[in-house]
Amino acid sequence: MKNILITRSKIRSIKLSNYLTKNGAKNFFQPLFSVKKIISENLLSSKNNSPIIISSANAIHILKKYNFSKDITIFCVGKITAQKLKNLGFVNVIHPQINSGKELSKIIIAHLNPREIFYFRGEKISFDFVKFLEKKGFKVNSEIVYKTCEISKFSEEIINLVKLKYFDEVLIFSQNSLEIFYKNCINHNLIEYFNSSNIMCMSNKIAKNARKIGFTKVSTFKKFPLLKNFYDAR
């Protein structure tokens, strides 16, 4: 049985946790941040039928707040975010097969001529859609619609288990998660213990950054059959 540390809350990880449990894993949870919604007053006067980019499910609340048309074109990074949008009734949702901001940008360029496009995001980003798309002639209206509030320490349970070199895999879902995870590892003097675990990252870019900051056993979700099968099926 694999012992897996999921760096999200149990509530946000229900489907993934159930899937891993059914396949013989034992799961533990260590959320790294909470999410605070931000209501953008700029949208009160600027909302129109321009296409939208959403790089995280945390930004979906803004679509409900301002009652966007259900047939508006929405580009999103991942399959799970896309499914959440479809469950809300949005019918024109487009996403890449690979969870990657760069891949999504390529799709946007292939689908649209240069024009105005909204980008709903958090304070911290893993991929700069504005820089990439504006080079191609797009006008990107970037709106911060949520922010993350760091959880500055691990739970005592997790700290004690880490010192026993208990975890086979640690799941990292974003660049922001990696940065907070690393900071907490330093604060608790746990880097050496986590180097016995496989640090599994959502994307190649996050994995590359994990290696840069000193983690020695690093891979990506797509190289872990259980995770690859879970996300491929979403």
Q: What is the pLDDT of residues 163-199, one digit of tens each?
A: 999 999 999 999 899 999 999 999 999 999 998 899 9
| d(C-alpha 171, C-alpha 152), whole Å | 18
Distance between start and end Cα atoms, the chain: 24
Say if CB 169 and CB 138 are below 8 A apart: no
pLDDT for res 43: 66
Instruction: State mean pLDDT over 125-143.
Output: 92
Instruction: Say if residue 1's pLDDT is above 80.
Output: no
Instruction: State mean pLDDT over 36-42.
Output: 81
Question: Residue holding tokens 């709903």?
Answer: 120
Count how many Cα atoms sit within 13 Å of the Cα of residue 16 in the half-sphere of its side chain: 22
- Parallel, antiparallel or unpaired: strands 218-220 and 198-201: parallel
- Parallel, antiparallel or unpaired: strands 25-29 and 2-6: parallel
Instruction: Say if residue 46's pLDDT is above 80.
Output: no
For the chain, percent of residues with pLDDT exceeding 90: 69
| d(C-alpha 38, C-alpha 160), whole Å | 36
pLDDT tens, residue by residue, 146-167:
999 999 999 999 999 999 999 9
Q: To 10 degrees, what angle do helices 14-22 and 225-232 make?
A: 130
- The pTM score is 0.83
For the chain, percent of residues with pLDDT exceeding 70: 96
Task: Tell me which of 44-53, 65-74, 210-219 is least confident.
Answer: 44-53
| d(C-alpha 93, C-alpha 73), whole Å | 6
Instruction: Say if residue 116's pLDDT is above 60.
Output: yes
**Average pLDDT value over all residues in the chain:** 91
100: confidence class by pLDDT, cuts 50, 70, 90: confident
Question: Residue holding tokens 């999410």?
Answer: 35
Q: Find the radius of gyration of the CA atoms of the chain.
A: 19
| Cα diameter, the chain | 56
Write out the two tokens for 168.
């086979």
pLDDT for res 231: 80
234: confidence class by pLDDT, cuts 50, 70, 90: low
The DSSP bridge partners found for residue 227 are none
107: confidence class by pLDDT, cuts 50, 70, 90: very high
Which residue has better confidence, 63 or 6?
A: 6
Q: To 10 degrees, what angle do helices 204-212 and 175-187 make?
A: 30
pLDDT for res 66: 82
